[in-house]
Amino acid sequence: MIQLLAFYLFAALTLAAGALTILSRNPVHSVLWLIVAFFNAAGLMVLVGAEFIAMLLVIVYVGAVAVLFLFVVMMLNIDFAALRAGFIKNFPLGILLAAVLLAEVLMGVGVVQGGALQLGTPDGSAPVPAGTQNIEAIGAVLYGKYLFLFEVAGVILLVAMIGAIVLTHRERKDVRGQNIARQVARRPDEATVNMQPDVGKGVSL
């Protein structure tokens, strides 16, 4: 009974938060609703028995990705009127996207109902044999069966990261860099000197 209550709670909150993500007028509120949706989705994951995925969802999406979203959205100077404009123009495209997403969801439901995949069972019970921990099961698959693909994914991410750094990096000549080693090595007697300058000659401007 507790599971059922928790499921309906999390599912309803996920749906409501998802709807409010789209409907709220303020983009910052949208991101915050998105975070609520992520969090409740993590709750659903726990209910299915995938606690590792749930924690990763919170750590990666809520803890890192959404913070960056929030950063960007908060610092943009958003004109709310301009956001509303172009609704009619973009409407057909939006409908198209929505139709594609709906078709995907329906196909997903159909596949699970058909029982073609071994990913999960329709009644929500975890396919992992009892007694195996989530992390061990995922680790065994990732580092055993799919080791090559996993490593390739890592290399691709590394290349993407280096690419992003190279593209956005610019050498700035007009700022003085901080040399921490030199700053730490400085001693008082080399930092301050007592001078006895003549009147009007003490400063060079």
Partner 1 sequence: MTEFFSQWLPYEWAWGLATLCGILLIAFPLMLAVAMIIYVDRKIWAAMALRRGPNVVGPLGLLQSFADGLKVMLQETIIPSSTSKALFLLAPIVTFTVALMAWAVIPFNGGAILADINVGLLYVLAVSSLGVYGTIVAGWSSNSKYPFFSAIRASAQMISYEVSIGFILICVVLWAGTFNMNGIVLAQKSHVWLLNGFVFNPLLFPMWVMFLISGMAETQRAPFDLTEAESELVAGYQTEYSSMAFALYWLGEYANVLLMCALNAVLFWGGYLPPLDLPVLYLVPGWIWLFAKIFLFFFIFSWVKATVPRYRYDQLMRLGWKVFLPVSLLFVVLVSGWLMYTGHFA
List phi, psi (to 5°) of 112.
-65, -40
CB of 35 to partner 1, least distance (A): 7
**Strand, coil or helix: what is 75?**
helix
Q: What's the min distance (Å) between Cβ of 70 and partner 1?
A: 6
In angstroms and rounded to an integer, the radius of gyration of the C-alpha atoms of the chain is 28
Nearest residue (CB) to partner 1, 63 versus 127: 63
DSSP 202: S
Taking the least distance from each CB to partner 1, the nearer of 56 and 112 is: 56
Q: Which is nearer to partner 1, 121 or 132 (CB)?
A: 132
Cβ-based nearer residue to partner 1, 71 or 146: 71
Q: How far is 31 from 21, CA to CA, in rounded Å?
A: 7
What whole-number distance in Å separates Cα of residue 154 and Cα of residue 37?
Answer: 28
In the bound complex, what is the minimum distance in angstroms from residue 202's beta carbon to partner 1? 29
Binding site for partner 1 (CB under 8 A): 1-2, 26, 28-29, 32, 35, 42, 51-52, 55-56, 58-59, 62-64, 67, 70-71, 74-75, 133-135, 178, 180
What lies within 8 Å, CB to CB, of 20 at 6+ separation is 29, 30, 33
As measured in angstroms, the least distance from the Cβ of 127 to partner 1 is 17
Task: Tally Cβ neighbours within 10 Å of residue 54.
Answer: 20
